Structure 1
Amino acid sequence: MSIAAILANPASGKDIRRLVAHGSVFDNQEKVRMVRRLILGLERSGVTKILYMPDSYAIIPRALNSISPSIPIEAVEMPIRSNQTDTTTAAGIMETLGAKCLIVLGGDGTSRAACKGTVAVPILPLSTGTNNVFPFMGEATIAGLAAGLVASGRLPREACCVHSCMFDILLNDAVVDIALVDAAVYDDVFLASRAVWHMEKVPQLFLTRCSASSIGLSAIGGQIRSILPEEPRGLALTLGPNASMKVTAAIAPGMFTEVPLVDVSEMAPGEIFPIHVNPGIIAVDGEREVEIPRGSRASIRLSTAGPMVVDVQKTMALARQEGLFCQPS
């Protein structure tokens, strides 16, 4: 049996950054329509069963109201807490139940939550969030086809996926969290709204990838270097007074800031970079999550053991080469 899984976050694209910045709201009805197209794509590609994460809005049951797929579509059994632990829990259960590809609808934070559940199952992240550096914008129909080809084994996952790097967040040498895109040291002790707004409170910033076309904190590094997700290197930035340069970057939709850079260093896999703030907070993938207790040792390490991410264009190009959707009349 070939199993694919869908994790749709009903809260993505609606956080406070949509009010403080100028981003559009991604409503749940659009997610319902996307899931409908995903299901049809998965069915057509040869998947024989779909698992999904239950949620308070009932995204998948609503999507099934107007279609009648021929394959079983089942919710995983789990409590609904309506926070990011739902995504982490669901991803772990889906791996146990034999899912061969996870389709995640959300932003960077939702993808990170899924990868905290498992990095052993390939992930196809579709953008429906605020900061969307890790997930991509794309047509759900084709995403369903690509994910289904991987999940069904009709194409080898090694040929369809990119192996992404990530950060290990360390406290006293123990891994306490991960980050897929960025980790920002915040010189404060309050989680508050969790989003990172005041760059003057960020003395250190670590990035797994950089692009001048990105939005969010990785856009800062993107004005200096280009680092692809699959490249085994990262970027460590030191911010503050006596800067050698200032970088203008879009750290949120419609929100620009000038960031003073003191130092730029490349990060090699396994290399540990100490954090110089204590006490403080580490924001992972745009949200303040990890508290640094007074007297503890915090550090960041680049890891090559990140998730395998389905490359839709590469997968569909390989499907064309193999003639998977062509047959003699």
Structure 2
Amino acid sequence: MFRHHQGIFQKKKKRKRRGKKSEWIAKERKEMATVGFVINPMSGKDVRRIVSSATTIDNQEKANIAERAAYTLRSFGEEHKIVLMPDGYDLADRVLNRFTHHGLENCELCDMKIDENHGDTTKFVKKLREEGCGLFIVMGGDGTSRAAAKEIGDVPLIPISTGTNNVYPQHTEGTVVGLAAAAILGGWVKPEDACERSKRIEVYINGEFVDIALIDAVISSHLYVGSKAIWEIESMNAVFAAQAHPASIGFSALAGAVDVVLPEDDKGLFIGLTAEKKEYLASIAAGRIESFGLTEKEIVPVGGSIKRVMDMEGIVAVDGERERRFHKGDTLELKLTRNGPMKVNVNKTVALAQKAGMFKVR
């Protein structure tokens, strides 16, 4: 009654698939597309992991997730090229060796110089986008997704959470990620139907564009950029959130305790903070609830901004990481736009693929 299914670890002959694919596949998609994999070996290892009881996803499990995504993608009969971003921990090398060992062909490491920081992700995404990459799978935290977002343009992005206090990437099973990737690259679902354009916060200092955030930008009096991850609520002066929900973990939860802002809402929320009042409670880290008070609250529409002449020295932390220092007298502007990545709605994409016939045996 049931036929034995050939294992995904074996080489398989290509099968002709007869489903009714969208006309887009014939008109616009290349016969074989490229998938870019970013597997951040450092995600989930910052100070926020140390000071909280957050779940840990080690590098072995990251490799397992990537393998499941790749095997599933290839199970739908098309040998899309897989390109991995190199890293200083040789995690991508180990993943590539496992791909090769299990018979996955047309896989390679990107030929690029690495500096072992978020800039590697940005360079990798820029290089592959310019070479015509069809989709990126990015494994890491909010910061890793932000680094990819700087150069991703209109290429579909599937972010997978393997970091700390993540809001933008989701905890998605690698198999399901592979299904969504196969649906888009195989022409079963159009990218515009699979993706939702993300919001982003653009940071300007004295009129110069300096950085972006996908979830939140925090104004802090903490001056030390080098320690990167920020977690001390006492040093925070304000939060500007593109997304805010009380069920989130991290600094966007501060805004979420005041109001809810969903990804599809064409607005953001700016709040001024004070430790002198105890008006709200928020989960700023796993298992850690902090109280805070408000000095101001402003709803900011997409296209709008918050502009302040700073009366102190400090830093702007984007998506939880200290990145940009400002000085007293500088003009700081935080602008909300819809210039973020084309983020794949994984469940929606897989459901659309089912309606298109992707899961019928041919």
Shorter-chain TM-score category? over 0.9
Q: Contact 2:96 / 2:108 at 8 angstroms: preserved in 1?
A: no
1:15 aligns with one of 32, 35, 46: 46
1:198 aligns with one of 226, 232, 257: 232
1:307 aligned partner: 341
Q: Contact 1:168 / 1:301 at 8 angstroms: preserved in 2?
A: yes
Greater CA drift, 262-271 or 64-73: 64-73
1:2 aligns with one of 18, 24, 33: 33
Deviation sequence 1:202-230 (CA, Å, 0-9, x none): 22110001122110011112223222213
2:62 aligns with one of 31, 34, 37: 31
Cα distance in 1 for residues equivalent to 2:282 and 2:58? 27
Aligned ranges 1:24-173 → 2 under 5 Å:
24-45=55-76, 46=78, 48-67=80-99, 68-173=102-207
What is the aligned-residue RMSD (CA, Å)? 1.8
- Identity in percent: 37
TM-score, length basis structure 2: 0.85
* Pair 1:274–1:105, CA change in 2 (3 A): same
Cα distance in 1 for residues equivalent to 2:164 and 2:295? 28
Q: Partner amino acid for 1:189? A: L
* Pair 1:220–1:47, CA change in 2 (3 A): farther
Q: Contact 1:36 / 1:64 at 8 angstroms: preserved in 2?
A: no
How many angstroms does 1:47 deviate by?
5.3
For structure 2, the 5+ residue unaligned runs are 1-31
TM-score, length basis structure 1: 0.94
Cα distance in 2 for residues equivalent to 1:152 and 1:315? 12
How many angstroms does 1:154 deviate by?
2.9
Aligned residue pair count = 327
2:288 aligned partner: 255
Q: Contact 2:48 / 2:231 at 8 angstroms: preserved in 1?
A: no
SS in 1 for 2:123: helix
SS in 1 for 2:343: strand
SS in 2 for 1:318: helix
1:219 aligned partner: 253
Q: Partner amino acid for 1:297? A: T
Greater CA drift, 111-120 or 27-36: 111-120
Cα distance in 2 for residues equivalent to 1:170 and 1:100? 31
Corresponding position: 1:175 with 2:204 = no
Greater CA drift, 130-139 or 256-265: 256-265
Q: Partner amino acid for 1:84? A: H
Q: Contact 1:3 / 1:152 at 8 angstroms: preserved in 2?
A: no
Q: Partner amino acid for 1:24? A: T
Cα distance in 2 for residues equivalent to 1:88 and 1:39? 22
Cα distance in 1 for residues equivalent to 2:275 and 2:59? 43
Q: Partner amino acid for 2:196? A: V
